[in-house]
A and B are shown apart, each in its own frame.
Chain A
Amino acid sequence: MSDLVVTLLGKYNYWLCVILMMIGLYAMIAKNNLIKKLVGMNIFQTSIILFYVSIGCKKGATISILEHGAGHHGVDPTHYINPLPHVLMLTAIVVSVSTFGVALALAIKVYRKHKTLEEDEILMQLRSE
Protein backbone atom coordinates (compact mmCIF):
# COMPACT_ATOMS: atom_id res chain seq x y z
CA MET A 1 0.00 0.00 0.00
CA SER A 2 2.74 2.45 0.93
CA ASP A 3 4.51 1.58 -2.32
CA LEU A 4 1.44 2.64 -4.23
CA VAL A 5 1.27 5.94 -2.35
CA VAL A 6 4.95 6.63 -3.04
CA THR A 7 4.44 5.83 -6.73
CA LEU A 8 1.40 8.09 -6.97
CA LEU A 9 3.07 11.00 -5.20
CA GLY A 10 6.31 10.60 -7.12
CA LYS A 11 4.62 10.56 -10.51
CA TYR A 12 1.64 12.86 -10.06
CA ASN A 13 2.92 15.10 -12.87
CA TYR A 14 2.21 12.30 -15.37
CA TRP A 15 -1.22 11.76 -13.83
CA LEU A 16 -2.15 15.41 -14.20
CA CYS A 17 -0.89 15.47 -17.80
CA VAL A 18 -2.87 12.33 -18.69
CA ILE A 19 -6.04 13.72 -17.09
CA LEU A 20 -5.64 17.00 -18.98
CA MET A 21 -4.95 15.12 -22.21
CA MET A 22 -8.08 13.02 -21.79
CA ILE A 23 -10.19 16.14 -21.16
CA GLY A 24 -8.91 17.49 -24.48
CA LEU A 25 -9.50 14.19 -26.28
CA TYR A 26 -13.05 13.93 -24.91
CA ALA A 27 -13.78 17.48 -26.09
CA MET A 28 -12.47 16.62 -29.56
CA ILE A 29 -14.61 13.47 -29.78
CA ALA A 30 -17.85 14.37 -28.06
CA LYS A 31 -18.40 18.10 -28.45
CA ASN A 32 -20.76 19.22 -31.16
CA ASN A 33 -19.43 22.71 -31.76
CA LEU A 34 -16.35 23.05 -33.98
CA ILE A 35 -14.81 25.83 -31.88
CA LYS A 36 -15.17 23.67 -28.76
CA LYS A 37 -13.39 20.88 -30.61
CA LEU A 38 -10.56 23.26 -31.41
CA VAL A 39 -10.34 24.32 -27.77
CA GLY A 40 -10.14 20.62 -26.90
CA MET A 41 -7.27 20.26 -29.37
CA ASN A 42 -5.48 23.15 -27.68
CA ILE A 43 -5.95 21.57 -24.24
CA PHE A 44 -4.48 18.37 -25.68
CA GLN A 45 -1.45 20.24 -27.02
CA THR A 46 -0.99 22.05 -23.72
CA SER A 47 -0.97 18.74 -21.83
CA ILE A 48 1.78 17.43 -24.12
CA ILE A 49 3.81 20.60 -23.59
CA LEU A 50 3.44 20.26 -19.81
CA PHE A 51 4.41 16.58 -20.07
CA TYR A 52 7.62 17.34 -21.92
CA VAL A 53 8.59 20.18 -19.62
CA SER A 54 8.00 17.99 -16.56
CA ILE A 55 10.25 15.30 -18.07
CA GLY A 56 13.09 17.82 -18.21
CA CYS A 57 12.79 18.69 -14.53
CA LYS A 58 15.58 17.74 -12.09
CA LYS A 59 15.25 18.07 -8.33
CA GLY A 60 17.36 20.90 -6.96
CA ALA A 61 18.40 22.17 -10.39
CA THR A 62 18.00 25.63 -11.86
CA ILE A 63 17.06 26.81 -15.37
CA SER A 64 19.51 25.83 -18.08
CA ILE A 65 21.28 29.17 -18.40
CA LEU A 66 24.85 28.82 -17.20
CA GLU A 67 25.90 31.11 -14.38
CA HIS A 68 28.58 33.72 -14.93
CA GLY A 69 31.92 32.05 -15.45
CA ALA A 70 30.48 28.60 -14.93
CA GLY A 71 31.17 27.59 -18.51
CA HIS A 72 34.91 28.13 -18.26
CA HIS A 73 35.70 25.51 -15.65
CA GLY A 74 33.42 22.58 -16.21
CA VAL A 75 29.64 22.43 -15.88
CA ASP A 76 27.94 20.06 -13.44
CA PRO A 77 24.93 18.72 -15.41
CA THR A 78 22.94 17.99 -12.23
CA HIS A 79 22.86 21.72 -11.43
CA TYR A 80 20.89 22.58 -14.56
CA ILE A 81 17.62 21.17 -15.85
CA ASN A 82 17.46 19.31 -19.15
CA PRO A 83 17.39 21.92 -21.97
CA LEU A 84 16.16 19.57 -24.69
CA PRO A 85 12.42 19.42 -23.78
CA HIS A 86 12.41 23.21 -23.46
CA VAL A 87 13.84 23.56 -26.97
CA LEU A 88 11.25 21.19 -28.41
CA MET A 89 8.35 22.87 -26.62
CA LEU A 90 9.54 26.38 -27.45
CA THR A 91 8.91 25.70 -31.11
CA ALA A 92 5.81 23.60 -30.38
CA ILE A 93 4.07 26.48 -28.58
CA VAL A 94 4.42 28.86 -31.52
CA VAL A 95 3.50 26.15 -34.00
CA SER A 96 0.39 25.31 -31.95
CA VAL A 97 -0.66 28.97 -32.07
CA SER A 98 -0.17 29.03 -35.85
CA THR A 99 -2.07 25.79 -36.42
CA PHE A 100 -4.84 27.11 -34.18
CA GLY A 101 -4.97 30.17 -36.43
CA VAL A 102 -5.31 28.00 -39.54
CA ALA A 103 -7.98 25.90 -37.80
CA LEU A 104 -9.96 29.03 -36.95
CA ALA A 105 -9.62 30.18 -40.56
CA LEU A 106 -11.09 26.87 -41.71
CA ALA A 107 -13.89 27.27 -39.16
CA ILE A 108 -14.66 30.70 -40.60
CA LYS A 109 -14.82 29.18 -44.08
CA VAL A 110 -17.23 26.51 -42.81
CA TYR A 111 -19.35 29.20 -41.18
CA ARG A 112 -19.45 31.23 -44.39
CA LYS A 113 -20.78 28.25 -46.31
CA HIS A 114 -23.18 26.70 -43.78
CA LYS A 115 -24.01 29.64 -41.48
CA THR A 116 -23.47 27.41 -38.45
CA LEU A 117 -20.66 25.76 -36.53
CA GLU A 118 -22.72 22.93 -35.01
CA GLU A 119 -21.57 19.63 -36.42
CA ASP A 120 -25.00 17.94 -36.62
CA GLU A 121 -26.57 20.89 -38.43
CA ILE A 122 -23.71 20.91 -40.97
CA LEU A 123 -24.17 17.16 -41.51
CA MET A 124 -27.92 17.67 -41.98
CA GLN A 125 -27.30 20.35 -44.59
CA LEU A 126 -24.79 18.14 -46.41
CA ARG A 127 -27.20 15.18 -46.46
CA SER A 128 -30.13 17.24 -47.73
CA GLU A 129 -28.14 18.52 -50.68
Chain B
Amino acid sequence: MKAIGLIIVVLAGALLLYSTQDFPFWGDPASPAGTHTATYYLTKAFEETSVPNVVTAVLADYRGFDTMFETGVIFCAGLGCFVLLRLSRSRDEDSYYRHVATGITLHIKSAKIPDVSSEFERIDTLWTPYDLIVKTVCRLLAPFVQLFGLYVIAHGHHSPGGGFQGGVILGASVILIAISHNMRTAIGRISEKTIHILMAVGVLLYSGIGALCILLGGNFLDYASLSRILFTNEIEARSLGILGVEVGVGITVMAVMITIYNNLSSDGRLDEGL
Protein backbone atom coordinates (compact mmCIF):
# COMPACT_ATOMS: atom_id res chain seq x y z
CA MET B 1 0.00 0.00 0.00
CA LYS B 2 2.77 2.39 0.91
CA ALA B 3 4.66 1.71 -2.33
CA ILE B 4 1.51 2.23 -4.43
CA GLY B 5 0.78 5.42 -2.55
CA LEU B 6 4.30 6.68 -3.07
CA ILE B 7 4.11 5.98 -6.82
CA ILE B 8 0.75 7.78 -7.12
CA VAL B 9 2.01 10.74 -5.13
CA VAL B 10 5.24 11.06 -7.12
CA LEU B 11 3.38 10.81 -10.44
CA ALA B 12 0.74 13.35 -9.45
CA GLY B 13 3.39 15.67 -8.06
CA ALA B 14 5.45 15.41 -11.23
CA LEU B 15 2.40 16.22 -13.37
CA LEU B 16 1.51 19.21 -11.22
CA LEU B 17 5.10 20.48 -11.28
CA TYR B 18 5.20 20.01 -15.07
CA SER B 19 2.04 22.10 -15.39
CA THR B 20 3.53 24.98 -13.41
CA GLN B 21 5.56 26.06 -16.43
CA ASP B 22 2.35 27.51 -17.91
CA PHE B 23 1.68 29.51 -14.73
CA PRO B 24 2.56 33.18 -14.36
CA PHE B 25 5.59 34.14 -12.29
CA TRP B 26 5.12 34.82 -8.62
CA GLY B 27 4.07 38.41 -7.99
CA ASP B 28 3.45 39.15 -11.65
CA PRO B 29 1.06 42.15 -11.73
CA ALA B 30 -0.17 41.12 -15.21
CA SER B 31 -1.13 37.56 -14.20
CA PRO B 32 -4.54 36.41 -15.48
CA ALA B 33 -5.95 36.09 -11.97
CA GLY B 34 -5.20 39.71 -11.18
CA THR B 35 -6.40 41.43 -14.32
CA HIS B 36 -10.12 40.83 -14.97
CA THR B 37 -12.63 40.94 -12.14
CA ALA B 38 -9.99 41.76 -9.54
CA THR B 39 -9.27 45.06 -11.27
CA TYR B 40 -12.98 45.84 -11.35
CA TYR B 41 -13.33 45.14 -7.63
CA LEU B 42 -10.32 47.25 -6.72
CA THR B 43 -11.36 50.25 -8.78
CA LYS B 44 -15.12 50.17 -8.26
CA ALA B 45 -15.68 48.67 -4.79
CA PHE B 46 -15.23 51.91 -2.89
CA GLU B 47 -17.48 53.88 -5.27
CA GLU B 48 -20.23 51.30 -5.06
CA THR B 49 -20.12 50.28 -1.39
CA SER B 50 -18.00 52.91 0.43
CA VAL B 51 -16.07 50.09 2.12
CA PRO B 52 -12.28 50.63 1.97
CA ASN B 53 -11.52 46.98 2.76
CA VAL B 54 -12.09 45.44 -0.67
CA VAL B 55 -11.99 41.91 0.76
CA THR B 56 -15.01 42.65 2.96
CA ALA B 57 -16.87 44.34 0.10
CA VAL B 58 -16.33 41.39 -2.23
CA LEU B 59 -17.05 38.84 0.49
CA ALA B 60 -20.38 40.19 1.65
CA ASP B 61 -21.70 42.10 -1.35
CA TYR B 62 -20.37 40.96 -4.72
CA ARG B 63 -20.07 37.34 -3.60
CA GLY B 64 -22.88 37.44 -1.06
CA PHE B 65 -24.44 34.19 -2.23
CA ASP B 66 -21.16 32.32 -1.81
CA THR B 67 -20.71 33.61 1.73
CA MET B 68 -24.32 32.84 2.64
CA PHE B 69 -23.95 29.22 1.62
CA GLU B 70 -20.54 28.99 3.34
CA THR B 71 -22.34 30.08 6.50
CA GLY B 72 -24.87 27.36 5.80
CA VAL B 73 -22.04 24.83 5.47
CA ILE B 74 -20.66 25.88 8.85
CA PHE B 75 -24.12 25.63 10.38
CA CYS B 76 -24.48 22.12 8.95
CA ALA B 77 -21.05 21.17 10.31
CA GLY B 78 -22.06 22.25 13.81
CA LEU B 79 -25.33 20.39 13.46
CA GLY B 80 -23.44 17.31 12.21
CA CYS B 81 -21.13 17.28 15.23
CA PHE B 82 -24.15 17.57 17.53
CA VAL B 83 -26.12 14.82 15.82
CA LEU B 84 -23.15 12.44 15.65
CA LEU B 85 -21.89 12.81 19.18
CA ARG B 86 -24.42 14.21 21.61
CA LEU B 87 -25.55 11.81 24.30
CA SER B 88 -27.92 12.69 27.07
CA ARG B 89 -26.54 10.44 29.80
CA SER B 90 -23.61 11.61 31.84
CA ARG B 91 -20.38 9.62 32.19
CA ASP B 92 -21.43 7.65 35.26
CA GLU B 93 -23.04 8.32 38.57
CA ASP B 94 -19.73 8.80 40.36
CA SER B 95 -18.62 12.33 40.94
CA TYR B 96 -15.57 13.96 42.42
CA TYR B 97 -15.55 16.91 44.76
CA ARG B 98 -12.76 18.93 46.32
CA HIS B 99 -13.01 20.46 49.74
CA VAL B 100 -12.03 24.04 49.05
CA ALA B 101 -10.37 24.79 52.39
CA THR B 102 -8.18 21.70 52.68
CA GLY B 103 -7.84 20.53 49.09
CA ILE B 104 -8.94 17.00 49.99
CA THR B 105 -10.60 15.17 47.08
CA LEU B 106 -13.77 13.17 47.70
CA HIS B 107 -15.08 10.41 45.47
CA ILE B 108 -18.83 10.16 45.94
CA LYS B 109 -20.93 7.33 44.54
CA SER B 110 -24.48 8.19 43.56
CA ALA B 111 -25.04 10.90 46.11
CA LYS B 112 -26.24 14.31 45.16
CA ILE B 113 -24.39 17.39 46.29
CA PRO B 114 -25.25 20.61 44.49
CA ASP B 115 -22.63 21.64 41.95
CA VAL B 116 -22.25 25.04 43.55
CA SER B 117 -21.54 25.01 47.24
CA SER B 118 -19.25 27.12 49.36
CA GLU B 119 -17.37 24.23 50.95
CA PHE B 120 -17.07 21.81 48.05
CA GLU B 121 -16.42 22.29 44.36
CA ARG B 122 -17.08 19.64 41.75
CA ILE B 123 -14.00 18.61 39.75
CA ASP B 124 -13.36 16.53 36.65
CA THR B 125 -12.54 12.83 36.82
CA LEU B 126 -9.40 12.79 34.74
CA TRP B 127 -7.62 16.10 35.12
CA THR B 128 -8.11 18.22 38.18
CA PRO B 129 -5.68 21.12 38.38
CA TYR B 130 -5.74 23.46 41.32
CA ASP B 131 -4.48 26.48 39.40
CA LEU B 132 -5.64 29.73 40.91
CA ILE B 133 -3.33 31.81 38.72
CA VAL B 134 -4.40 30.20 35.43
CA LYS B 135 -8.08 30.43 36.34
CA THR B 136 -7.89 34.05 37.44
CA VAL B 137 -5.85 35.21 34.44
CA CYS B 138 -8.15 33.45 31.97
CA ARG B 139 -11.26 34.80 33.69
CA LEU B 140 -9.88 38.34 33.51
CA LEU B 141 -8.70 37.86 29.92
CA ALA B 142 -12.01 36.56 28.53
CA PRO B 143 -13.90 39.89 28.43
CA PHE B 144 -11.02 41.59 26.64
CA VAL B 145 -10.86 38.77 24.11
CA GLN B 146 -14.59 39.20 23.53
CA LEU B 147 -14.21 42.96 23.16
CA PHE B 148 -11.49 42.38 20.58
CA GLY B 149 -13.77 39.95 18.75
CA LEU B 150 -16.55 42.53 18.61
CA TYR B 151 -14.03 45.10 17.35
CA VAL B 152 -12.85 42.74 14.61
CA ILE B 153 -16.46 42.21 13.46
CA ALA B 154 -17.50 45.85 13.63
CA HIS B 155 -14.28 47.27 12.18
CA GLY B 156 -14.11 44.81 9.29
CA HIS B 157 -14.95 47.60 6.86
CA HIS B 158 -11.73 49.48 7.55
CA SER B 159 -9.18 46.93 8.76
CA PRO B 160 -8.48 43.21 8.32
CA GLY B 161 -11.41 41.46 9.91
CA GLY B 162 -15.02 40.57 9.52
CA GLY B 163 -17.58 38.04 10.63
CA PHE B 164 -15.53 34.88 10.22
CA GLN B 165 -12.47 36.11 12.11
CA GLY B 166 -14.41 37.90 14.83
CA GLY B 167 -16.70 34.91 15.31
CA VAL B 168 -13.74 32.61 15.82
CA ILE B 169 -12.25 35.03 18.39
CA LEU B 170 -15.57 35.21 20.28
CA GLY B 171 -15.82 31.42 20.26
CA ALA B 172 -12.21 31.15 21.48
CA SER B 173 -13.02 33.29 24.52
CA VAL B 174 -15.67 30.81 25.65
CA ILE B 175 -13.40 27.85 24.85
CA LEU B 176 -10.70 29.54 26.95
CA ILE B 177 -13.08 29.50 29.93
CA ALA B 178 -13.93 25.86 29.24
CA ILE B 179 -10.24 24.90 29.18
CA SER B 180 -9.06 26.97 32.13
CA HIS B 181 -11.99 26.25 34.46
CA ASN B 182 -14.08 23.28 33.35
CA MET B 183 -16.81 22.63 30.87
CA ARG B 184 -19.63 23.04 33.40
CA THR B 185 -18.53 26.63 34.07
CA ALA B 186 -18.51 27.47 30.36
CA ILE B 187 -21.93 25.88 29.83
CA GLY B 188 -23.20 27.77 32.88
CA ARG B 189 -22.19 31.01 31.15
CA ILE B 190 -23.66 30.15 27.74
CA SER B 191 -25.98 27.17 27.81
CA GLU B 192 -26.28 24.53 25.12
CA LYS B 193 -29.74 25.76 24.21
CA THR B 194 -28.51 29.33 23.75
CA ILE B 195 -25.67 28.15 21.53
CA HIS B 196 -28.04 26.21 19.30
CA ILE B 197 -30.42 29.14 19.01
CA LEU B 198 -27.50 31.45 18.15
CA MET B 199 -26.31 29.02 15.47
CA ALA B 200 -29.64 29.32 13.70
CA VAL B 201 -30.06 33.05 14.39
CA GLY B 202 -26.88 33.91 12.50
CA VAL B 203 -27.96 32.11 9.33
CA LEU B 204 -31.45 33.54 9.71
CA LEU B 205 -30.06 37.07 10.05
CA TYR B 206 -28.02 36.67 6.88
CA SER B 207 -30.81 35.22 4.75
CA GLY B 208 -33.33 37.52 6.45
CA ILE B 209 -31.43 40.58 5.27
CA GLY B 210 -31.44 39.04 1.79
CA ALA B 211 -35.18 38.45 1.94
CA LEU B 212 -35.77 41.96 3.25
CA CYS B 213 -34.12 43.27 0.10
CA ILE B 214 -36.71 41.39 -1.96
CA LEU B 215 -39.56 42.79 0.14
CA LEU B 216 -38.21 46.31 -0.49
CA GLY B 217 -38.28 45.79 -4.22
CA GLY B 218 -34.68 44.78 -4.99
CA ASN B 219 -32.97 41.50 -5.78
CA PHE B 220 -31.99 38.95 -3.15
CA LEU B 221 -29.02 40.33 -1.15
CA ASP B 222 -29.07 43.59 -3.13
CA TYR B 223 -28.46 45.88 -0.16
CA ALA B 224 -29.10 49.05 -2.19
CA SER B 225 -32.83 48.60 -1.69
CA LEU B 226 -32.34 48.81 2.08
CA SER B 227 -31.86 52.57 1.65
CA ARG B 228 -35.62 53.04 1.93
CA ILE B 229 -35.80 51.91 5.54
CA LEU B 230 -32.33 53.10 6.61
CA PHE B 231 -32.90 56.66 5.28
CA THR B 232 -29.51 56.81 3.55
CA ASN B 233 -28.36 56.74 -0.03
CA GLU B 234 -27.79 53.43 -1.81
CA ILE B 235 -24.03 53.36 -1.27
CA GLU B 236 -24.28 53.78 2.50
CA ALA B 237 -27.09 51.21 2.54
CA ARG B 238 -24.71 48.69 0.93
CA SER B 239 -22.14 49.39 3.63
CA LEU B 240 -24.71 48.90 6.40
CA GLY B 241 -26.08 45.77 4.75
CA ILE B 242 -22.55 44.32 4.70
CA LEU B 243 -22.26 45.06 8.44
CA GLY B 244 -25.54 43.27 9.21
CA VAL B 245 -24.50 40.26 7.22
CA GLU B 246 -21.10 40.14 8.92
CA VAL B 247 -22.81 40.16 12.33
CA GLY B 248 -24.89 37.17 11.24
CA VAL B 249 -21.79 35.31 10.07
CA GLY B 250 -20.00 36.13 13.34
CA ILE B 251 -22.85 34.78 15.49
CA THR B 252 -23.04 31.52 13.56
CA VAL B 253 -19.27 30.97 13.52
CA MET B 254 -19.00 31.65 17.26
CA ALA B 255 -21.80 29.25 18.15
CA VAL B 256 -20.51 26.52 15.83
CA MET B 257 -16.96 26.75 17.20
CA ILE B 258 -18.29 26.39 20.75
CA THR B 259 -20.59 23.49 19.93
CA ILE B 260 -17.84 21.63 18.03
CA TYR B 261 -15.43 22.08 20.95
CA ASN B 262 -18.00 21.07 23.56
CA ASN B 263 -19.10 17.93 21.75
CA LEU B 264 -15.65 16.79 20.64
CA SER B 265 -13.81 17.34 23.91
CA SER B 266 -16.46 15.76 26.14
CA ASP B 267 -17.34 12.91 23.77
CA GLY B 268 -20.86 14.29 23.45
CA ARG B 269 -21.68 14.27 27.15
CA LEU B 270 -21.05 17.96 27.87
CA ASP B 271 -20.09 17.22 31.46
CA GLU B 272 -16.32 17.38 31.58
CA GLY B 273 -13.98 18.46 28.84
CA LEU B 274 -10.26 18.37 28.24
Nearest chain B CB to A99's CB is how many angstroms away?
6
Question: Does B12 lie within 8 Å of A25, measured CB to CB?
Answer: yes
Question: Does B13 lie within 8 Å of A65, measured CB to CB?
Answer: no
Nearest chain A CB to B38's CB is how many angstroms away?
4
Question: Does A21 lie within 8 Å of B38, measured CB to CB?
Answer: no
Q: Which residues of A contact B23 (CB under 8 A)?
A: 11, 14
CB of B189 within 8 A of chain A? Answer: no
Contacts A65-B53, A105-B264; A94 near B34 (Cβ below 8 A): no
Contacts A90-B55, A90-B164, A105-B81; A29 near B67 (Cβ below 8 A): no
CB of B160 within 8 A of chain A? Answer: yes
Q: What residue of chain A has the Cβ atom nearest to residue B46's Cβ? A: A71
Nearest chain B CB to A129's CB is how many angstroms away?
22
Contacts A18-B20, A57-B26; A66 near B52 (Cβ below 8 A): yes
Q: What residue of chain B has the Cβ atom nearest to residue A91's Cβ? A: B70
CB of A39 within 8 A of chain B? Answer: no
Q: How far is the CA of A70 from the CA of B54 in the complex (A)?
A: 12
Count class of interface residues, chain B: 35 or more
Q: How far is the CA of A13 from the CA of B31 in the complex (A)?
A: 14
Q: Which residues of B contact A104 (CB under 8 A)?
A: 264
Q: Which residues of A contact B43 (CB under 8 A)?
A: 74-75, 77
Q: B1-24 vs A: 1/0 string, CB under 8 Å?
A: 110111011101100110011010
Q: Which residues of A contact B59 (CB under 8 A)?
A: 87, 90-91
Question: Does A65 lie within 8 Å of B52, measured CB to CB?
Answer: yes
Q: B29-62 vs A: 1/0 string, CB under 8 Å?
A: 1010110011101110011001011110011000
CB of B198 within 8 A of chain A? Answer: no
CB of B25 within 8 A of chain A? Answer: yes
Question: Does B16 lie within 8 Å of A106, measured CB to CB?
Answer: no
> Out of A56, A87, A98, A109, which one reaches B33, CB within 8 Å?
A56
When A and B form their complex, what is the total count of cross-chain residue pairs whose Cβ atoms lie within 8 Å?
175
Q: Most B CB atoms within 10 A — which of A26, A75, A78, A101?
A: A101
> Out of A19, A87, A101, which one reaches B63, CB within 8 Å?
A87
Q: How far is the CA of A85 from the CA of B38 in the complex (A)?
A: 9
Question: Does A83 lie within 8 Å of B41, measured CB to CB?
Answer: yes
Question: Does A26 lie within 8 Å of B6, measured CB to CB?
Answer: yes
Which residues of chain A in 37-95 are interfacial with respect to chain B, using CB atoms and an 8 Å cutoff?
A: 54-61, 63-68, 70-72, 74-75, 77-78, 80-87, 90-91, 93-95
Which residues of chain B in 128-185 are interfacial with respect to chain A, using CB atoms and an 8 Å cutoff?
A: 158-160, 162, 164-165, 167-168
Q: Which residues of B contact A5 (CB under 8 A)?
A: none
Contacts A12-B26, A26-B6; A105 near B80 (Cβ below 8 A): yes
Question: Does A94 lie within 8 Å of B74, measured CB to CB?
Answer: yes
